[in-house]
Amino acid sequence: MAARRAEKKAEPISAAEAALLVKSGDWIDYGVTHCQPDVFDKALAARAAELRDVKFRSCITVKPRAVLEADPKGESFYWFSWHFSGYDRKMHDQGIAHYMPINLGEIPDYYRRFLDPIDVAVLKTRPMDAEGFFNFGGTGLWHRAVVESARIVVVEVCESLPLSHGENCGVHASEVDFVLQGDGAPLAELPDIPLTDVDRAVGQLIADEIKDGACLQVGIGGMPNAVCAALLESGVKDLGLHSEMLTDGMVELVRAGVATGACKSLDTGKHVYSFALGSRSLYESIDGNPDFQCYQADYTNLPHNIMKNQRVAAINSTTRVDMTGQAASESSGFRHISGTGGQLQFVRGAYASPGGKSFICLPSVYERGDVRQSRIVLSLEPGDTVTTPRSDMMYVVTEYGIVNLKGKTVADRAKALISIAHPDFRDALEAQAREKRLIPKGY
């Protein structure tokens, strides 16, 4: 590593000059969320007509990408994502974006062991500090592994990124080839979607299961956020945070003094995360705050680390659960929606934690237009991706109740899941389960 670092000079470069570093057939890495470049992206898009077979690795794209907008037929650029955002999903529906199956916490290892070296990595960072480091600004994940794997490293500096504390949350100038001045645009924020009555009902059911000193992992979505809202009013104290994603709801728990980290065995007193995504208030809360620690995903998501904290409560969403307990959380048939993310690793890590609990939550019904369907189903649809296997499923929660599937027979699982389905669908579900012999005659 020392010899390689000596070759890097962190030279200033213009956007147009940086775009010329890319050649047809190259693998480009754009990083994750706020670390995806903007100025470079526009400059590279201007070269769409002269490039072919340029492949991008990306994840959770939080704003439109110029390279994709400039190549709507996908003739020059191929976009591969480790986890879809709404924009990635839209591009997938147009045949432009494509998914890479993963356990998110393993991705750093993929770069080190299984992927070809990156030709050009372009990551947005904070400007260089006095010690020569460019901070990743609240997005750790696998950016260190990207830097180590890349033939050419370009950083696009942006003053808007928050300063994050934690291990390996930046890149030193000695590892950087070129420095590009960014546009300083404000960071993208997640929309503040009001909680529904269903969200609140599910949130309360889960909050009732969380006791003093529990350590939380919270996924994205209304229901996990509703859990945080319910915990604010629950009287519970000294919660810990060890999560892949840091959300506004989790930060509210810290501000209210509900989450202190005092009972954590690992990183006691610290709020650990791998990427922060939410509102400007969230970004301001972590900016320069050493109580919030940003780590790589192979630290936050490793089940052997998760289980070191006691009473871990992993809270994640799904879209459909079959009557044996399989959760399809990332696709609807062959239409890809999101990704495995860290769900399975946190399900397993929480279960292995002393007193730990894993919660998979969903509304009982899918409703859109004239379509109204139960989300608890006899069997998954063709193309549905199983994110959490039935063998790993613990608590399943809808607005109608909460059931624990651990140790239950197939028949008992089916009965338990039918009990928390919407009442309008329970009779039909039981008839289907009996017809297919999931529930034996007379049982």
Q: Compute the radius of gyration of the chain from its Cα atoms.
A: 23
CA distances from 56 to 37, 67, 93, 431 (A): 12, 10, 18, 48
What residue type is assigned to position 389 of the chain?
Answer: P
Torsion angle of alpha carbons 149, 153, 157, 160, nearest 10°?
Answer: -20
CA–CA separation, 362 and 365 (whole Å) = 8
CA–CA separation, 21 and 180 (whole Å) = 13
Residue identified by tokens 């990306």 is 58
CA–CA separation, 154 and 17 (whole Å) = 11
Torsion angle of alpha carbons 329, 332, 335, 337, nearest 10°?
Answer: -30
CB contact set of 192 (below 8 Å; sequence gap of 6+) = 279
Contact 273, 141 (CB under 8 A): no
Nearest of 112, 109, 178, 108 to residue 149 by alpha carbon: 112
Read off φ and ψ for residue 72, nearest 5 degrees.
-65, -20
CB contact set of 223 (below 8 Å; sequence gap of 6+) = 199, 202, 203, 315, 317, 361, 362
Residue 17 annotated in active site:
no
CA distances from 8 to 140, 168, 172 (A): 22, 18, 10
CA–CA separation, 115 and 55 (whole Å) = 13
Read off φ and ψ for residue 39, nearest 5 degrees.
-65, -45
3-class SS of residue 304: helix
Residue identified by tokens 């993963």 is 102
Judged on CB neighbours under 10 Å (0-12, 13-18, 19+), 30 is: buried
CA–CA separation, 405 and 416 (whole Å) = 8
Q: Of 106, 156, 175, 244, which residue is the catalytic one?
A: 244
Nearest of 139, 133, 146, 416 to residue 295 by alpha carbon: 139
Catalytically active residues, by annotation: 244
